[in-house]
A and B are shown apart, each in its own frame.
Chain A
Amino acid sequence: MSVAFNELRQKADTEWQGLTAGDKPWIRVGLGTSGEAAGAEEAYDALKEALGTEANVSFVGSMGLCYAEPLIDVQIPGGSRVFYNNLGADEAPGVIAAHLKSGRADPDKALAWDGTERPEGLGAIPRLTELPTVEVQTRLATKLAGDIDPREMGQYIANGGYSALDKALGDMDPASVLDEVKNSGLRGRGGAAFPTGVKWGFLAPNPAPVKYVLCNCEEGDPGAFNDKGILESCPHTLLEGLILAGYATNSSNGVIFIRQGHTLPIENSRKAVQDAYAAGLLGQNILGSDFSYDVEVALTGDSYVAGEETALMEAIEGKRSQPRYRPPFPAAAGLWGKPSNINNVKTLSYAPTIIRDGADAFKSVGIESTSGTAILCITGAVNRPGMYEVPMGSLTIREAVENVAGGIRDGKLMKMFQAGGPLFGPIGEEGFDSPIDFDSIAKTTGSLGSGGIIVGDEDVCAVNLVRNLMSFNQFESCGKCFPCRLGMTHMVETLERISQNEGREDDLELMERMGASMRMGSLCGHGQLGYNPVASALKYFEDDFNSHMHDKKCPTGACGEGQMVTPTRTRP
């Protein structure tokens, strides 16, 4: 351990001791975007007011148990944690104050407990790790989510944070860090699943003095919130990963790229970068080594295509986020014409655990073709929507929906899932037993993508859902390539027609032909994959189309009659 890091660690340990085993109870309120939407901020304010100086009340990130939000946990000094679920501002002060006063937990409101000793009064309430939503998880990138205040760097350090960076700078040269990532088998988690070590290997040997590692947190995929989840709950995991990537690729600069409007991720990353500079974890001669690295946070305006790697560089340069021609590839000439690497938030967030615990430990999680975990965001018609980090290939879609997400709401049947973002369509029963890993899901015509899985029940009409997905794609076409710009618009019009039972005989063939033109005539995946949702819906739910086309009625009634479907918009 370097002298500089040892100092940081000791200070952090003392502070952590004070919080977990000091003289006051510690109350942690989960505040990610989902917590905010559930009313966690109001609950926090109410607790602060009711408890005053009696307890330390902190915001932490979301544990991913979104169905339980607002999720609040209480730790009596030196004792176990008790997690209360769905505790809004109206109930929180009463329940928590009674717990603190009596020392007994309230079993009616508690979800779980965690620690060494079962807290008094909890009855049959399970341990956190026994919950069906938690027992399947192996948390690598989201390990500290919900445990620490994302804005306090010391809490990250006290829990093992930055020890991978200290180890890399002290004991490993850049080539061995790169080798470790290569050996770990890590594949990019943005959707393309390209081997990360190979990608870094394109950049590492380039002798240019200025080289960039760019971290993509545009995260515009509806149904996916795991990038935001990491930045909301533990931004230093990403930052440590980014610095490690910079070291392994002999780069000079890092950029964290976030969509404006992702308020918590932006605030947390800015604070993380600022604190890292102040502690000597960024800037000149990091931790006393001869490695120097600079990181800044850059924002994009609202544009889905800004998440495409070359469009992303255009946005950082302050221009319209439209894709560039390739070659030159980013590793040769990327941001500001300098050699660049682009990685997803999740991908970079695995780097600390790979370097700290070694490639073999990482490979022991997941399957041969894809090591590590999948950070799933399960939403839609399920009982327990949330963000769950599970080993790659450890669950099928059906198992994830039934066992983890608690099955379909109101006892209904599962009809479809839609995964991988809006450029992939709904998948039916035949795909439900597919294991959740990149290669297996790809065989269903879907994609694991960045981990969002949206579940539809028996009341969903495939035409209706695809109409919604294509509206998104139409609105978000950047307009650079006309097959995408016009094709998306025609496709939405055609689907609109079909959904209103006015489809024409040749509509399906027409869409297929447009799809072929878009595939051939578009620069980036947005246009190239544009026909995917329709193709997938036709493959699995042809009956839904037939009902609209021939029987002139919606098979489930979801499409309504004559009322607004999803709004259509054209980019101004």
Chain B
Amino acid sequence: MSDGQTIASDESPSSDELRERSRKALQAQQQPTVTVLSSLIAVQDELHYIPDEAIEETATHMKSTINDVWSVASFYTNFRFTPPGDHTIDVCWGPSCHLGGAQNVMLRVHSELGVDEEGETADGKLTLRYSTCLGACALAPVIAVDHHMKGRQTPDSAAAVVNGLKGA
């Protein structure tokens, strides 16, 4: 987890910068009750992932331990520990979407992205996530692009969405 590869490329922020932005996000929390979980959500909202620096800063901020912060961060499936691509595509496979043909949508998205599971494309530009339910079940099958829902999908319409992102 701590191999430093997440900050390898030129565009990636430096370790100090990640630390600084984490700290700001932690301190900017407005709600009366601040916890390890609320802190991790705040940091991921800011950085789009949880780097090691953020784990350490959260532990310090919450007077907790790195171990305990990791235990929470690794439990909730929304947290990720490497930077995502420029755009994230969620494909829902909940039962309403499943019955509506989500599997064929999923297979088509796989082939358009050249992947066969969740994660980043080879160029690292796009991220595919599986979702257990996006909550727009009446418009199944549903996908989301950067958390914006798109319902009533077919394999073709999903392919068009994905290909639109490739150029973006």
Contact = CB atoms under 8 A, between A and B. Distances in A.
Contacts of A66: 138-139
Interface in A526-570: 560, 563-567, 569
A402 to B, nearest CB: 17
Given A34-B151, A261-B78, A319-B72, A298 B31 contact: yes
Contacts of B62: 318
B21 interface: no
B120 to A, nearest CB: 16
Q: Which of A37, A219, A418, A564 has the most CB of B within 10 A?
A: A37
B2 to A, nearest CB: 16
Q: Which of B33, B72, B79, B118 has the most CB of A within 10 A?
A: B33
B156 interface: no
Q: How large is the interface on B (under 10, 10 to 19, 20 to 34, 35 or more residues)?
A: 35 or more
Contact of B138 (A377, A422, A465): A377
A38 B37 contact: no
Contact of B94 (A37, A223, A296): A223
Contact of B137 (A69, A222, A469, A472): A222
Nearest to A416: B99
A571 B95 contact: no
Interface in B101-128: 103, 106-107, 117-118
B78 A301 contact: yes
B99 A456 contact: yes
A381 B139 contact: no
A315 interface: yes
Given A301-B37, A381-B99, A571 B93 contact: no
A328 B124 CA distance: 49
Interface residues of A, number: 69
A456 B96 CA distance: 9
B138 A300 contact: no
A385 B151 CA distance: 13
Nearest to B144: A37
Given A34-B138, A37-B149, A379-B140, A220 B41 contact: no
A34 B139 contact: yes
A302 B135 CA distance: 13
Contacts of B77: 301-303, 571-572
Interface in A298-316: 298-304, 315-316
B130 interface: yes
Interface in A21-38: 33-34, 36-38
Contacts of A475: 132
B87 interface: no
Contacts of A228: 135
Q: Which of B32, B36, B118, B151 has the most CB of A within 10 A?
A: B151
Contacts of B99: 380-381, 454, 456, 460, 465
Given A299-B41, A301-B76, A319-B72, A465 B139 contact: no
Interface in A393-412: none
Interface string A62-76: 000011010000000
B48 interface: no
A472 to B, nearest CB: 5
B149 A472 contact: no
Contact of A569 (B79, B97, B106, B130): B130
A387 interface: yes
23 contacts: A222-B97, A222-B132, A222-B133, A225-B135, A225-B136, A225-B137, A260-B41, A261-B147, A263-B147, A301-B41, A301-B78, A302-B77, A318-B35, A318-B39, A319-B37, A319-B72, A321-B75, A379-B138, A379-B140, A380-B95, A385-B139, A454-B99, A569-B130
Interface of B: 31-33, 35-41, 62, 71-72, 74-79, 93-100, 103, 106-107, 117-118, 130, 132-140, 142, 147-152
Given A298-B33, A379-B96, 14 more contacts: A37-B134, A37-B136, A37-B151, A222-B137, A228-B135, A300-B76, A316-B33, A318-B36, A377-B138, A387-B138, A452-B137, A454-B137, A471-B93, A569-B130
